[in-house]
Amino acid sequence: MPSRGRRTEPEERISQDKILRLAGSATFSRAHAYQQQGRVEGVLRSGSTVAATVRGTVPYRVKLAFGTRPTWSCDCPVGGEGKFCKHCAALAIELLDPEERVALRRRAGDSGSGIAKTLAALSREQLEEIVRLAAVRDARVAQAIETAAAAATGTSVDVQQWAKRIDTAFRTGGFVPYAKAPDWAAAITEVLDGLSDLVSSGYATEVVGLAERAHRKLERSMGHVDDSGGEVVLISGLIADLHLKAVVAAAPEPAAFARRLAKLELEGELDTFRRAARAYADVLGEKGLREYRKAVEPKWRKATQGPHDQWSHDRFVATEAMIGVTLASGNPDELVEIVSDRLRTPDDYLEVARAMEAAGRRGEAIRWSRKGLTSLGTRFWQTQSLRAFLSSLYLADGDDEAAEELWWENFRLRPSVDSYRRLLAETRSCDAADAGERAIGELRAQAETGMDDAAGVTRYASILAEVLLYEGRVDDAWEMATLHGVDDGIWMKLAQARESEHPLDAIPIYERAAVERVETKNASGYQDATRILKRIEKLAATAGEPALFRDVLVRLVEDHGRKTTFMGLLRRAGWV
């Protein structure tokens, strides 16, 4: 149904500093790269709200509203948890004033331009000596020199030498423990970076085979590396990216390449080539996809028919390969046939729904999305992407009310600051402030009517207090906490929020926190307690009640005077 008129908040200028505060420097850097690569598309404005598609791993729908209280949403996994993801940041950067975008681009290149000016002042002999020393000390530099020289002279690269580099980098020497796994992965990454440079220099065909060699080496290293830190998975992804980049550039004959790629997927333990037909669809074309299907479908039918273990690795790999073929060919009915007995997570339903929408069958996409939320909707930690996708379908059909109700349902299933913020971002039927009051009212009712369930009351009171703190309503949050009780973490947030105007309210909370840290009976806890005591001392002095701090000290010494390490810290602080 058409959305009713909505009062909008006064629009506030987007700035680089504000985006940095929301995203953090690492996310901001990745987002800037996305914006520079032209990944922000279809920007639409409606009042203070801006929507766009940002092409990440898949296209994601992003909405921003930079009013007096910024709100945002993105249907990527990170955005689904209410976080300001790189896709949100990329759209925000796109919305900067043109002058600020230009300045940002220049600042990003400042370090490189500074080096360029320095190098321009050096003689040829000085440059050659610097490069020679760098090549001796850094294998990546040596690789870059070799690659550039081959490209400049038109000579072929030494494939055997690169193969030896791969073999050396993957060598485990028996077993790679957790502490050494990052160094092992770093050496491999250097070689893979060098291979990526080869592709850029025109040696894509050679790199295809070298990347496949690296994949086989990685498969053989499994069981010989402690992958608790995820190094093997990281390298698998790097090899997948490298191989696809090389194949796109090399454009191999589709049928023969399809047979080789299918073999890599079906025989692989890792996810390097999982659902490869979809990833390589443009390279394979219709001819290659037909050949890929011929290689994969018989193995899938054999693995899924008869009394076979549904959890077997062979069945999983063959099924994933067939899903890749189906997604590449754009046949959602076949996808349903393949996944009908493995719809176990919201993402499984989301995949079918996306395929239906891509095929122009929005009604069925909506039905599959609803089915997933009906079956698994209580798994709120997994459903955000599915919920966001269904919301986008409703909005595309002009059903704003149904889309908004999805986020009310989400808020009621898992009330939190994140779901509250997402609800405000998705509200269309009224002003966000009115929606916020309604949500706060529901939380208050839960806290005040559930008196027979003390734990439930505390839970809802804690959530409500945190939401009120988010809204800047510190006194209301304090009233809720003192009336019903809240979790320890919320008490600390309340103390921090109230200490400047109500220091005497904060002191008892900090005292409880100090006692809790002392009772851990470890050095870190004692140090934390000492820092908290310094805070109490300052607050007591600010309030003109220094005796309150002495009283806290007396109680701590009486109860914990036998903890010699803790008492030593108190003595060093001059308190005892």
Closest CA to 169 of 144, 147, 194, 186: 186
DSSP string, 195-211: HHHHHHTT-HHHHHHHH
The DSSP bridge partners found for residue 176 are: 225
Residue 114, pLDDT score: 59
Distances (CA, A) of 205 to 147, 244, 272, 279, 516: 14, 11, 19, 18, 63
Residue 57, pLDDT score: 60
What sign for the dihedral angle of Cα 29, 31, 32, 37? positive
**Residue 396 corresponds to which tokens in the numbers above?**
């595309």
Residue 1, pLDDT score: 34
What is the CB neighbour count within 10 angstroms for residue 493?
A: 20
Cα–Cα dist 524/518, whole Å: 9
Q: What is the DSSP letter of 76?
A: S
CA dihedral 530, 531, 536, 537 (to 10 degrees): 80
Three-state secondary structure string covering 403-422: HHHHHHHHHHHCCCHHHHHH
**Residue 40 corresponds to which tokens in the numbers above?**
């922000």
Q: Which amino acid is present at 13?
A: R
Closest CA to 265 of 317, 328, 209, 314: 317
E strand intervals along 56-108: 59-65, 71-74
The tens place of each residue's pLDDT in the chain, 576 residues long, gives: 333 333 344 445 688 888 888 888 878 888 888 888 788 887 877 767 888 888 876 678 888 887 667 888 888 778 877 788 899 999 999 988 877 877 777 666 555 555 667 777 788 888 878 878 877 776 667 767 777 676 666 667 889 999 999 999 999 989 999 989 988 998 899 899 889 989 988 999 999 999 999 999 999 999 899 988 888 988 999 999 999 999 999 999 999 999 999 999 999 999 999 999 999 999 999 999 999 999 999 999 988 886 666 678 888 999 999 999 999 999 999 999 999 888 888 989 999 999 999 999 999 999 999 999 998 877 767 788 899 999 999 999 999 999 999 999 999 989 999 899 999 988 888 888 899 999 999 999 988 876 556 667 888 999 999 999 999 999 999 999 999 889 999 999 999 999 999 999 999 999 999 999 999 999 999 999 999 999 999 999 999 999 999 999 999 999 999 999 999 999 999 998
Closest CA to 543 of 500, 482, 479: 500
